[in-house]
Amino acid sequence: MDLAPLFQSRIPGAGPRPAQTSQVRMLDGLSFKQAFATLIIALTVGLLTSAYELLNDYRNMHDQVRRDVGADLNLVRGLAVEAAYQLSAELAGEVVAGLHQNPVTLEVVLTDNYGGELGRQDRAAVSTPFPALAERLFGDVAAHARTLETRNPNGSSTVVGSLELRLDAGGLLNAWLDRATNAVLSGVARAVLVCALVVAVFYILITKPLLRITDAIGRVDPAHPGAFLIDLQRGHQRDELGLLVGTVNGMLAESQHGLDDRDRAQNELAALARDLERRVTERTQELAREKEGVERALAQLNLANTELEKANRDINDGIRYASRIQTALLPDQGALAGVVDELAVGWQPLDMVGGDYYWAGSFESKGVIAVMDCTGHGVPGAFMTAVVASSFSRILHHHGHEDPAEMLTQLNRLVKTALRQDRDSAVSNDGLDAAICVIDRAKATLTFAGANLPLLVAENGSLRQVRGDRMSLGYLDSPEDYRFAAHSMSITPGSAFYLYTDGVTDQVGGDNNRLFGRRRLQEVLAEMGDRPVTEQMDALFQRLGQWRGEQRRRDDMTFVAFRPLSGSRIPS
C-alpha cells in the first residue's frame, strides 16, 4: 500500500493580504455617529433642563410680582388713607406718582368714598407678539385693589376711598421671554460645546486606535495567523481596546495552534487508515469463520423452536380440551324447568378454563342452584372446580338436597379430605367460597346458605342483600365441624334472586381505578328490576365493560339470576 502524503497547513500561493486602503465615509464613521448621538442627547437634556428652569422662573417671577405689588400697596396705604380722608388731591398725586414709577405699571387710580378721583396716572401698554399668552400667564397678577379705611375712636372702621393698580401683562411676558431666550441660547451653546469635546475625546481615545487595529487585522496571513499578532498603542492595555486586542491575538495564536494540530492529526490519520485496513482484512476473515458457527447455531435454534412450537400446541390443545371437559361439568340451564320461570347464567372464566363453578338441578318439586368461587384461576382453578364438582355431586346424591347449610358443611369436609388439608402435614391451602339456594315450589319458599358469598333479593320494587357466613370452605383454617346458617324466606310472585362471585364486584376501572363494588351492582339491578333477568344480566355485563375500559379483567366471573315459578303451591 502507498504511504499517504504528509499534509501542511500552508496554502499554496497564499501570502499576506494587502493593507486596507479604502476609507470609511465621514457619515458612516463612528465619530460622526458619536457626535450626532451626543448632540441629540445633549440638546434633549438641555431643552428639558431649560424647560424646567423656565417653568421655575415663571413661577418665581409670578410670585415675585404678586409680593412686590402687595408690598408697595401696603407701603403707601397710610398716605393713601390720609389723602382720601382729607380729600387731598396733592397728597393723592404723590401716592399715585410713587406707584407709577414701576415701568410695568399701566394705571394707578386713587378715589374717595364718593367715587371722585383724587389722583390718577397711566401709560400705554407695551407691544407683545403674544397678547393672549400674556393675559393667560400674568392676567391673574395684573389687577390689584385696596379698600381705604380709617379707625374710629369707638373701634369701628369707616371706608374713605379705594386704591387701584393695574400692571402691563404684555410687559411682564416680554421680560419673561427675554430671560427664557437667554436661558435657551446658553443651554444650546453648552450642548454644542460638550458635544464637540466628547467627539474629540472619543476620536482620540477610541476611533483612531480602532482604525489602527482594523488595519493590522487586515494584514494577517490566513496560512500563518500566529505570525501577525497585533501591537497595541500605549495607554490601552487595561481598557476595552486592550481586551479586544488580547482576544484577537489569542484567536490568532489558537488558530495557528489548531492548524498545527490539524497537520499532526492528518498524518496520524493516514497511519491509522493503514492500520485499520490491515485490521479490517483480519476481521473479515474472522467474521467468515464466525458466520459458519452462527449458521450452525441458527440451525440448532430452528430445530429447538420447532420443538417448542410443537410443545406449545400440545399445551394449548390440552387446555382447550380441559375447557371442553370443564364446560361439560356445568349443568344444563334447562335442568330447572318446572322450578323457575326465568334463569340467566353468565359464566366467564378469565382464561380458557377457570376457577368458578355453578350447578343447577331439580329434585321433584325442589330445585338447587349453587355458585362457587375456587382458589385461583386458569388451570389450577379448573382442577379445583373438578374436585368441587365431584364433591358436590356426592353430597347431592348421598347427603340430600334439602338443607343448603348442611350441603356447605359437607362440602367443607369433603374438599379438606380430597386435598388432604385435614392433616397436620398438608402441603396445600386451597378452598372456595360458595352460595347455595334450595327452592321448594310446594311450599313457595327459598332457603339460602352462603360461605363468604351473598344473595340479592329483588321483591316489591326493592333490593336487599342476605349475607352468607364469613367462613370459606376447604382451607386449613376452615373448621371441619363448622355449622353454616340457613336463611329461609317466602317467594313473592315476580321476585328475583341473584348469586355472583367476587369477580363481578372486584373489577377495577372508572376515573380513579376503583373497584366496581356491590353498591354499583345493586344500582344496575335496581334500575332494570322490571326487565327479564336475561336483559338484566346483559345490562350488567355491558356496564362492567364500560367501567373497566382499557383495564384487563383480573378474575373469573359468574353471575346467576332466576325467578321462581309464580303461582300457588303444588297440591300435596
- Check if the beta carbon of residue 249 is closer than 8 Å to that of residue 220: no
Over range 394-423, report the average pLDDT.
Answer: 90
- Check if the beta carbon of residue 15 is closer than 8 Å to that of residue 160: no
pLDDT at 264 over 50: yes
Q: Which three cell numbers stand for residue 476?
A: 386449613
- Check if the beta carbon of residue 507 is closer than 8 Å to that of residue 553: yes
> Between these two residues, 153 and 501, which has the higher pLDDT value?
501
User: Within 87-168, where are the H helices?
Assistant: 89-99, 131-138
pLDDT computed for residue 2 by the predictor: 47
Q: Which three cell numbers stand for residue 157?
A: 372702621
Cα separation of 59 and 40, whole Å?
Answer: 28
Phi, psi (deg, nearest 5) at residue 140: -75, -15
Place 212 in a pLDDT band, splitting at 50, 70 and 90. Answer: confident
Q: Is 264 helix (H, G, I), strand (E, B) or coil?
A: helix
CA angle 128–172–190, rounded 5-degree value:
90
pLDDT at 278 over 50: yes
8-state DSSP, 2: P
Over range 512-541, report the average pLDDT.
Answer: 92
Lowest mean pLDDT among 5-14, 141-150, 238-247, 466-475: 5-14
Cα separation of 346 and 500, whole Å?
Answer: 9
3-state SS, one letter per residue, for 333-380: HHHHCCCEEEEEEEEECCCCCCCEEEEEEEECCEEEEEEEEECCCHHH
pLDDT computed for residue 499 by the predictor: 97
List the 143-151 sheet strands across, edge first. Answer: 117-122, 105-112, 157-167, 143-151
pLDDT computed for residue 523 by the predictor: 92
Q: Which helix (H) or strand (E) is 297 found in, with range?
A: helix 240-329
8-state DSSP, 473: B
pLDDT computed for residue 235 by the predictor: 67
Q: Which three cell numbers stand for residue 325?
A: 371437559
pLDDT computed for residue 288 by the predictor: 86
Place 213 in a pLDDT band, splitting at 50, 70 and 90. Answer: confident
**What is the tens place of the pLDDT at every residue in 30-43?**
666 777 787 788 77
Beta strands in 127-214 (DSSP E): 143-151, 157-167
**What is the tens place of the pLDDT at every residue in 360-404?**
988 888 899 999 999 887 788 888 889 999 999 999 988 777 899
Mean pLDDT value across the chain: 83
pLDDT at 209 over 90: no
In angstroms, what is the C-alpha Rg of the chain? 60
| 509 CB-near residues (< 8 Å, 6+ apart) | 516, 547, 548, 549, 551
pLDDT computed for residue 489 by the predictor: 95
CB atoms under 10 Å from CB of 48, counted, come to 11
pLDDT computed for residue 31 by the predictor: 64
Q: Is 570 helix (H, G, I), strand (E, B) or coil?
A: coil
Q: Is 498 helix (H, G, I), strand (E, B) or coil?
A: strand
Over range 142-151, report the average pLDDT.
Answer: 85
Place 26 in a pLDDT band, splitting at 50, 70 and 90. Answer: low
Over range 196-219, report the average pLDDT.
Answer: 75
Q: Is 181 helix (H, G, I), strand (E, B) or coil?
A: helix
pTM equals: 0.49
- Check if the beta carbon of residue 432 is closer than 8 Å to that of residue 557: no
pLDDT at 155 over 60: yes
Mutual angle of helices 169-202 and 30-86, in 10-degree steps: 160
Which among 459, 415, 426, 416 has a CA at the least distance from the CA of 564? Answer: 459
As a whole number of Å, the end-to-end CA separation of the chain is: 115
| 168 CB-near residues (< 8 Å, 6+ apart) | 104, 105, 106, 125, 126, 142
Cα separation of 134 and 168, whole Å?
Answer: 9
Place 228 in a pLDDT band, splitting at 50, 70 and 90. Answer: low
Place 560 in a pLDDT band, splitting at 50, 70 and 90. Answer: very high
Over range 231-241, report the average pLDDT.
Answer: 71
175 to each of 99, 127, 252, 285, how far by Cα in Å? 19, 12, 68, 110
Q: Which three cell numbers stand for residue 561?
A: 339470576
> Between these two residues, 568 and 559, which has the higher pLDDT value?
559
pLDDT at 12 over 70: no
Q: Which three cell numbers stand for residue 504?
A: 363481578
**What is the tens place of the pLDDT at every residue in 301-336?**
888 888 788 766 766 666 676 667 766 657 766 778
Which among 564, 375, 528, 371 has a CA at the least distance from the CA of 455? Answer: 371
Is the Cα dihedral 263, 269, 270, 275 positive or negative? positive
- Check if the beta carbon of residue 564 is closer than 8 Å to that of residue 341: yes
pLDDT computed for residue 571 by the predictor: 38
3-state SS, one letter per residue, for 65-88: HHHHHHHHHHHHHHHHHHHHHHCC
pLDDT computed for residue 13 by the predictor: 40
- Check if the beta carbon of residue 572 is closer than 8 Å to that of residue 442: yes
**What is the tens place of the pLDDT at every residue in 103-136?**
888 899 989 888 888 889 888 888 888 888 878 8
Phi, psi (deg, nearest 5) at residue 496: -130, 150
Query: Looking at the DSSP assignment, which residues form a beta bridge with residue 263?
Result: none
**What is the tens place of the pLDDT at every residue in 47-63?**
788 788 888 888 888 88
Over range 524-540, report the average pLDDT.
Answer: 92
8-state DSSP, 469: B
Place 238 in a pLDDT band, splitting at 50, 70 and 90. Answer: confident
> Between these two residues, 207 and 478, which has the higher pLDDT value?
478
**What is the tens place of the pLDDT at every residue in 68-109?**
888 888 888 888 888 888 888 888 888 888 888 888 888 999
